Amino acid sequence: MLSRIRGTLAEPPIGFPHYADTGTGQWTTTSDGFWTGGFWGGLLALASVQGGDQKLMGGAEEVATQLTARATSDTAFRGFLFFFGAGVAHLVGESDRAREVALAGAEGLAASFNHNAGLIPLGLQAEEADAVGSGAANIDAVPGTVALLAWAARETGRQSFADMARAHARRHVEYCLREDGSVCQSAEFDPRDGTLVRRYTHKGLSDGSTWARAQAWAMLGFAQAAHWVDAELAEPAVTAADWWIEHLPAGRVATWDFDAGPDAPRDTSATAIAAAALLRLADLVPSRPHYRDHAASMVATLCQFVTPTEVGDQRTSGMLTSGCFDPKRGVATDAELVWGDYFLFESLLSLQGVINPTAL
């Protein structure tokens, strides 16, 4: 994977890597970073720890700088952009430049907090912007967002940022975690007071199904919340994680939606996110040390989906294949996804003891 990261950095595509064709290694990019561009910066920052290479950290800082313009975008997914695309470079590499960018992102996110409803709404410039108003929330808006605000509170001493992070996470437990421990991606709420109106999905198979990334994002988001801002949020994280472990198919890689049937396309990125969450929770929750073994075996399986170095060059070796971005719209249903790479790489470094997963 390090070789793939170095290859992309050596011949950078124009824009932010989003997903890639696993035959040619060619990236499809976005001009503004969409919600995914920060993972490229996060990958470079992690690679600099593993590779000990200033060029890699320089690349991470460059990505963070390019993201600055997004600090005021009206999207809750700024948590993805600014925590993974800048905060990680500060946390693992003590980059002052990345710290400034991450603080700008946190400032922008905090300005979008709805104090009557107690959360940051999805936002009119979010990926699903054509379908939402000011009363929409997504579980995908918890990972990164809560950690970024809580990290910024620690850096600046602004308690209000930590309060917002806690409230945002708690609202999403209420909106998205079902009674049985499965997770629903999206919720409509009353922006005047936060009352839940209905649950539904943007990317899942149906409103009642369990989209694999919804489950995985919840595990990660609540695990980050438990570490960064509110230890009580370990409970919903564990509920979602136990459901994941119970429902993961024998092949140890989830299909894109748990209700899509055994022959549906796999989404390796969902399993990579879930592994990263389990590694955090194994450290945070004394009753769940076995999560580390589950994560390790999921990661071992995911490694079988990584294109081997002996048959490829830097452009095509080290890619995590079989990511499924958006099957309902037919986009990148069998591809390398930049966030799948990020969470697999992060999990590998955690398992090797190179980084402490709870610090992220």
Give the binding site for ligand GLY (CB under 6 A): 35, 127, 140, 203, 213
Given the complex with ligand GLY, which of 127 and 283 has the nearer CB atom? 127
Fill in the amino acid letter for 348: L
Shortest spacing between CB 7 and ligand GLY, in angstroms: 25
Among residues 161, 151, 144, which one has the least CA distance to residue 75?
A: 144
Going from the C-alpha of 210 to that of each of 46, 62, 217, the distances in angstroms are: 30, 37, 12
| Residue owning tokens 């437990």 | 173
Shortest spacing between CB 277 and ligand GLY, in angstroms: 14
Shortest spacing between CB 232 and ligand GLY, in angstroms: 25
Residue 34 — left, alpha, or beta (φ > 0 → left; ψ -120 to 50 → alpha)? left
Given the complex with ligand GLY, which of 47 and 218 has the nearer CB atom? 218
Run of H or E including 222:
helix 212-228
Shortest spacing between CB 159 and ligand GLY, in angstroms: 29
Shortest spacing between CB 127 and ligand GLY, in angstroms: 5
Given the complex with ligand GLY, which of 282 and 335 has the nearer CB atom? 335
Shortest spacing between CB 92 and ligand GLY, in angstroms: 23
Going from the C-alpha of 186 to that of each of 26, 78, 215, the distances in angstroms are: 32, 17, 12
In angstroms, the first-to-last Cα distance of the chain is 20
Shortest spacing between CB 78 and ligand GLY, in angstroms: 12
Cα-flanking dihedrals φ and ψ of residue 162, to 5°?
A: -70, -40
DSSP β-bridge partners for residue 136: 188
Q: Is the distance from CB of 195 to CB of 203 less than 8 angstroms?
A: no
Given the complex with ligand GLY, which of 18 and 292 has the nearer CB atom? 18
Residue closest to ligand GLY, measured at CB: 140
Tell me the C-alpha distance between 43 and 272, whole Å.
14
Going from the C-alpha of 120 to that of each of 38, 115, 155, 172, 190, the distances in angstroms are: 19, 9, 21, 10, 13
Given the complex with ligand GLY, which of 61 and 140 has the nearer CB atom? 140
Tell me the C-alpha distance between 229 and 233, whole Å.
9
Given the complex with ligand GLY, which of 189 and 343 has the nearer CB atom? 343
Given the complex with ligand GLY, which of 185 and 347 has the nearer CB atom? 185
Shortest spacing between CB 213 and ligand GLY, in angstroms: 4
Tell me the C-alpha distance between 12 and 208, whole Å.
41
Residue 134 — left, alpha, or beta (φ > 0 → left; ψ -120 to 50 → alpha)? alpha
Shortest spacing between CB 332 and ligand GLY, in angstroms: 10
Residues 6+ positions from 63 with CB-CB distance below 8 Å: 16, 37, 38, 40, 41, 44, 85
Given the complex with ligand GLY, which of 128 and 242 has the nearer CB atom? 128
Given the complex with ligand GLY, which of 9 and 183 has the nearer CB atom? 183
Strand ranges in the chain using DSSP code E only, listed in sequence order: 16-20, 27-30, 136-138, 186-189, 196-200, 336-337
Given the complex with ligand GLY, which of 74 and 100 has the nearer CB atom? 74
Shortest spacing between CB 128 and ligand GLY, in angstroms: 8
